[in-house]
Structure 1
Amino acid sequence: MSGMIELARNAVQTWECDQMGHMNVQFYVEKATQGLAALGVNLGLGPRFVRSEGARLFARDHHVRFLREQRPGAPFWLRGGVLEVHDYSLRIYQEMVATASGEVAATFTADVELLDEFTREMKPLPAKAKEKANALLIELPTHGAARGLTLYDPRPAPSLKDAEGLGMVHTYQGEVQAPQCDTQGRLSTRHFMGIVSDSIPNLLAQTRGDDRSKTPSVGGAALEYRFIYRGHPAAGDVLALRSGLKEVGNKTYTWCHWLFDVESGKAVATAEAVAIALDLETRKSIPIPDEMRTLLEGLVIDGLGV
């Protein structure tokens, strides 16, 4: 087993932060996507390969843990390696490290595949790439393992009718815009997460009556996410998100989010997230207030999952 290699280095920008005052979840995923590109270079699947073969690595399944808040101006770097090597896929691991303290701020485990950039057809990994990947094998650190989520096999893809039948909340609908897409005009990995993040104020308003524009003293933060990417929406497609509560714990609650192409009704992504109530003054998690708990427990929907 080798050690992890450096993949990216940057700092948190003010415009990457949300109403909670910390870096928004979509930008963590964006940094991990940049790290994947750098890992591709180390596997012989870098820009030259992409330009000549028209294929690059894409994530199919993401598991993300948020261990420490990242506030504006915070410097960080990403390191990572390979967990498993298969003929058509790799399981990789990355972690975001705070440059000043050396503490791990977030972890990313992903199943990645080599896909044609335009058709998104899966291609076998070149033998040399697998050889190089085997030289970068590492073991999953304990802090990168799932904690609040169970990493079970994804469910069959739900349909929009399934979501409506379950009574899931309509939390987002919009057209895929060109700035949300990669150079091939397909929704970028960051913006899958961005759509879910953008939906949260609507979700809270419809389920709890919250209005985040009123600067409340209690907010929320995600601890863990799992994303299954099931499609490749293009610029101009209209997407809709349906959300539902899976379970409620002492300090945490788990939401499921299903993203659909409105025209076809097919799922393009499914996700679930563990979140906490956050005291916005102390920046610490707090038990779910009794009134909120009673409300949340009445919103739980059986049968949700990724």
Structure 2
Amino acid sequence: MQAAATYRGTVYPWQCDHVGHMNIMWYVGKFDEANWNLFARIGLTPGYLRNSGRGMAGVQQNISYRSELFAGDIVEVTSELLEIGTTSIRFRHEMRNAEIGEVAASCELTAVHLDRAAHRSVAFDEPVRRAAASLLAAAKLAGA
């Protein structure tokens, strides 16, 4: 999948720590909001998750911090799907200062598709797998 915008927002003063830059908890929060926009693009919408008894759970998250963000900065997160397995999905986010284009942080995550009642992983439904495969194929063609 080619990187697509999955979050846009602003750094608020109350999101900054004692040294004046956005605290790491807010990087994680903004990446989390991007997760749900990316999931919706492949059919893992709030309605689907509520109605099917399914859920998503992060099992690994690696963040690299590259530059600081300050109160008032405009933030954009782009995301790309890297891999979809039977029950898991791996993807990457890149957070930029939208005004100057500088990368502030990147994050690679692995999440698992869950049966909420059974509290265990479950295979993705076929429409989700097809949508994810389509995004991966488009990215491969764009990179060729």
Secondary structure of 1:232's counterpart equals coil
Q: SS of 1:208's equivalent?
A: coil
* 4+ runs deviating over 6 angstroms: none
Paired residue type of 2:81: L
Partner of 2:29: 194
> Is the 1:204–1:211 contact (alpha carbons within 8 Å) kept by the matching residues of 2?
no
RMSD, matched Cα? 1.9
User: Aligned in 2, Cα 1:206/1:192: closer, same or farther, shift over 3 Å?
Assistant: same
Residue in structure 2 matched with residue 47 of structure 1 by the alignment: none
Q: Could you tell me the TM-score, scaled by structure 1's length?
A: 0.42
Question: C-alpha distance in 1, partners of 2:121/2:98?
Answer: 36
Higher relative contact order (CA 8 A, sep 6+): 2
Tell me the distance in 2 between the aligned counterparts of 1:212 and 1:176.
29
Task: Provide the residue aligned with 1:207 in structure 2.
Answer: 42
Residues 1:189 and 1:209: Cα distance change in structure 2 (over 3 Å): closer
Count of aligned pairs between the two proteins: 137
TM-score, scaled relative to structure 2? 0.85
Higher helix share: 2
1:282-297 pair list within 5 angstroms: 282-297=118-133
CA distance in structure 1 between the partners assigned to 2:40 and 2:88 by the alignment: 19
Q: Cα distance, 1:214 vs. partner?
A: 7.0
**Unaligned residue ranges in structure 1 (runs of 5+):** 1-165
Identity %: 25
Cα distance in 1, alignment partners of residues 47 and 27 from structure 2: 22
| Whole-angstrom CA distance in 2 between matches of 1:285 and 1:205 | 19
Say whether 1:245 aligns with 2:81.
Answer: yes
Deviations 1:13-61 (A, max 9, x none): xxxxxxxxxxxxxxxxxxxxxxxxxxxxxxxxxxxxxxxxxxxxxxxxx
Q: Which runs of 5+ in 2 are unaligned?
A: none
User: Contact between 1:201 and 1:212, CA under 8 Å: does it hold in 2?
Assistant: no
